[in-house]
Amino acid sequence: MNKIIAVALPKGGVGKTSTAVNLAASLAVYEKRTLLIDADPSNTCAPALGMPFSELTGGLFDMLTNSRPYDKILHKTSLDYLDFIPSDTKILDSEERLGQVVHNYFRLREIARNKFNIYDYVIIDCPPYLGGITKLVFNAVDSVIIPIKTAQFSLLAMSKLLESLSETKLKTNKNINIEGILLSMLENNTLAAQLTEERLYPKYGKYVFKTFIPKSTSVAESTYYGKPVVLQNARSIGGQAYLELAREVIVRNKECPVKELIKESAISKTSDEKPREIALSQNRPNPFSHSTKIRFEIPYRMKIKLTVLNLFMEEIEILVENRMEAGEYEITWIPKDLANGVYYYRFDAGGLFKMNKMILAR
C-alpha cells in the first residue's frame, strides 16, 4: 500500500510543518517506509530534521524540472525508514524557482505514481496558501491532514480549504479525501479552545482525529535541536502525542481506508450527527435503590451538560459538565435529600437539548 498525504491549511503558524515532520518521523519509528517532502518554499523541514542547507544536494524544484538525479534529490535521515526531499537547496529565490514550474499541474502526480511506490507513506508539507505549488500537491495526493490551532481564524481557513478540496475533487483529482482534522496545538481550558471545539465538532466531528497534540514545550523546542520530537524525547507529551497520531493513521488506513470512509459528496457536507439518548432506564420507581439511571451515546468528542431540575424547573444538581469522548455512558443519580417526587433532567450537547421527566418513589 502506498498513501500520499498532504498537510495543509491556508494559514501560517498552525503546526503544518511540525505535524508533517513529526508524523513522518513517528511513522518511520513504527517501521513504515516513509518519505517526507517539503513543498513550502520557506524550506523549514530541513532545519527541523537537523539538516544544514549547505549539505542539501537537490530538492523538489530539481525533481519537477528533472534537473538533478534522484540520488541527489532524496536525502537519508537519522531514521532508517525516513527519506526526505527538501523544497530546494537554498532559501533565496526558491519561491520564484518553484513558481516557474507550477503551471504543469500534474507533474508531481506523475512522479509520485512512478517513483514513490516503494514507500508506505509519503507526507507532504504545504505552504500556507492554496494556489501555486499547493495545487500540484492536491492533484498528487490521496488525502489531506488539516492542522487546526484553537482560534477562530483557523476555522475560517479550514472553510476555504474545504472549498478548494471540493473543487479539486470535482475537477482534477477525484480520489482526494480528508485524512483527518488535527488539533495541532491544543491549549486545554482556554476559552479559544472551548469555542473552537464547540464550532468544530458539531460540523466536522467525524473527521477530527481522536489524537490531539497539546501545546507543549517539547514540540516547540525540538525544532531548535533539529530533531523530530520522537527522537529528541519520545516520552515527552509531544512525543507521545505524535506517536499516537501515527498509530491512529496506520490503524485507520489498515482497517478502514479513508477512501471508503468518506463518501464523495461528504467532503463539503456538514455532519448532522448528534448525541443520542439511548434510554432512561428507570422511569418506574425503584423501591430499593431510590436512584435513577440516565444512559446516552456520544458520537464524537463534545461538551456535555446534564442537569437535574425539580418540579419547579429549578436546577438542583449538575451531574456532568465536561468534554467527553465518543462512547456510551450511564450515569446514576441518587437524590441528596432522598425525597420522593417528580424531577426532570436536562441534556444539553452539540445542539441537542432535551428534557425528560423522572419519578422517584420508595
Residues that bind ligand ATP (CB under 6 A): 12-18, 40, 128, 184-185, 213, 215-216, 219-220, 223, 238
Partners of 7 in beta bridges: 125, 145
Written as nine digits, the cell of 353 is: 437539548
Question: Using CB distances below 5 to 8 A depending on partner kind, what does residue 302 bind out of Mg ion, ligand ATP, none?
Answer: none
Q: Which is nearer to ligand ATP, 58 or 147 (CB)?
A: 147
The span of 14-22, 58-66, 137-145, 302-310 binding Mg ion (CB under 5 A) equals 14-22
Label each residue of 325-352 as H, E or C: CCEEEEEEECCCCCCCEEEEEEEEECCE
Whole-number Cα distances in Å, 34 to 14, 93, 118, 205: 23, 28, 9, 28
> What distance in Å separates the CA atoms of residue 10 and residue 182, rounded to the nearest whole number?
15
Question: Using CB distances below 5 to 8 A depending on partner kind, what does residue 87 bind out of Mg ion, ligand ATP, none?
Answer: none
Would you count residue 19 as binding Mg ion (CB under 5 A)?
no
Would you count residue 16 as binding Mg ion (CB under 5 A)?
yes
> What distance in Å separates the CA atoms of residue 160 and residue 154, rounded to the nearest whole number?
10
Written as nine digits, the cell of 333 is: 443519580
Question: Using CB distances below 5 to 8 A depending on partner kind, what does residue 351 bind out of Mg ion, ligand ATP, none?
Answer: none
Question: Using CB distances below 5 to 8 A depending on partner kind, what does residue 327 bind out of Mg ion, ligand ATP, none?
Answer: none
The span of 11-19, 150-158, 275-283, 315-323 binding Mg ion (CB under 5 A) equals 11-19
Smallest separation, CB 80 to ligand ATP (Å): 24
Would you count residue 149 as binding Mg ion (CB under 5 A)?
no
Smallest separation, CB 179 to ligand ATP (Å): 16
Question: Using CB distances below 5 to 8 A depending on partner kind, what does residue 15 bind out of Mg ion, ligand ATP, none?
Answer: ligand ATP
Smallest separation, CB 221 to ligand ATP (Å): 8
Question: Using CB distances below 5 to 8 A depending on partner kind, what does residue 18 bind out of Mg ion, ligand ATP, none?
Answer: ligand ATP
Interface residue with Mg ion, options 3, 5, 9, 17 (CB under 5 A): 17
The span of 12-20, 58-66, 219-227, 283-291 binding Mg ion (CB under 5 A) equals 12-20
Long-range (24+ apart) CB contacts under 8 A made by 252-260 are 252/179, 252/180, 253/1, 253/3, 258/142, 258/143, 258/177, 258/178, 258/179, 259/142, 259/175, 259/177
Among 307, 310, 306, smallest CA distance to 339 is for: 310
Smallest separation, CB 361 to ligand ATP (Å): 53
Question: Using CB distances below 5 to 8 A depending on partner kind, what does residue 134 bind out of Mg ion, ligand ATP, none?
Answer: none
Beta strands, E only, the chain: 3-7, 34-38, 75-76, 82-85, 121-125, 143-148, 177-183, 276-280, 292-298, 302-309, 315-324, 327-333, 341-349, 352-360
> What distance in Å separates the CA atoms of residue 233 and residue 360, rounded to the nearest whole number?
54
H-type helices in 83-216, by residue range?
Answer: 94-99, 107-115, 133-140, 152-171, 191-204
Smallest separation, CB 355 to ligand ATP (Å): 40
Smallest separation, CB 14 to ligand ATP (Å): 4
Whole-number Cα distances in Å, 321 to 211, 269, 296, 317: 22, 29, 14, 11
Q: Which is nearer to ligand ATP, 27 or 298 (CB)?
A: 27
Q: Which is nearer to ligand ATP, 177 or 216 (CB)?
A: 216
By CB under 5 A, name the binding residues for Mg ion: 16-17
